[in-house]
Amino acid sequence: MSLLVCFSGQIGSGKSSVSAAVAEALGWGRTGFGDFLRAEIARSGGDPTDRRGLQDLGQQRVESDPEAFCHDVLDAGGFQPGDDFVADGVRHAAIFRILRVLAAPSTARLLFLQASDTARTARVKARSDHTDFQRAAGHRVEGELRDALPEQADAVIDADRPFGDVVADCVALIRSWQ
């Protein structure tokens, strides 16, 4: 069975780093909603490091044509239905439902990385945009990351643990699904 494994989690949960390490460990391709949005903003001459701009553009794409948004992100990563693949940065339950349909015949699974506020704050402090953390965490695009997505996830991973342990648990879980 082929899989499209989607990663979700709040800012600072480690989802981008973990999903990249998981894709590498499995030898799978990877795409990310944030990566796609940064490239779009850079192409239009904007600042791809501006989190507010990323969040606003992402929310705009979700509201205007969520299916096209999902297609664009999957296409940017080179995903073909039937591939084993990783998609990072799912922030909306509706987006995951669309990915399930678009992935066929691959089966889409959602991994939610759950990290405490303390761990997330500590991780974000190392970033250049750390002063924007409070505003960014309250943005509308982050709204479903507290309840809806963890409830919909196929598995919730404790992301407070050491990075290598989180990656190893994700890889083991994914292999158990195959």
Q: pLDDT by residue (tens digit) across 74-92? A: 999 999 999 999 999 999 9
Cβ distance 70 to 31 under 8 Å?
Answer: no
What pLDDT shows up at residue 131?
58
Query: Per-residue pLDDT for 136 more than 60?
Result: no
**Of 27-36, 53-62, 143-152, minimum mean pLDDT range:** 143-152
Query: Residue 59 is part of which domain span?
Result: 3-177
Q: What is the CATH number of the domain that holds 115?
A: 3.40.50.300
pTM beyond 0.85: the answer is: yes
Give residue-wise pLDDT tens across range 98-133. 999 999 999 999 999 999 878 877 767 766 665 555
Cβ distance 57 to 40 under 8 Å?
Answer: yes
What pLDDT shows up at residue 121?
75
What pLDDT shows up at residue 133?
57
As for how many domains the chain has, the answer is 1
Helix, strand, coil percentages (3-state) for the chain, rounded to 5, are: 55, 15, 30
Query: Per-residue pLDDT for 176 more than 90?
Result: yes
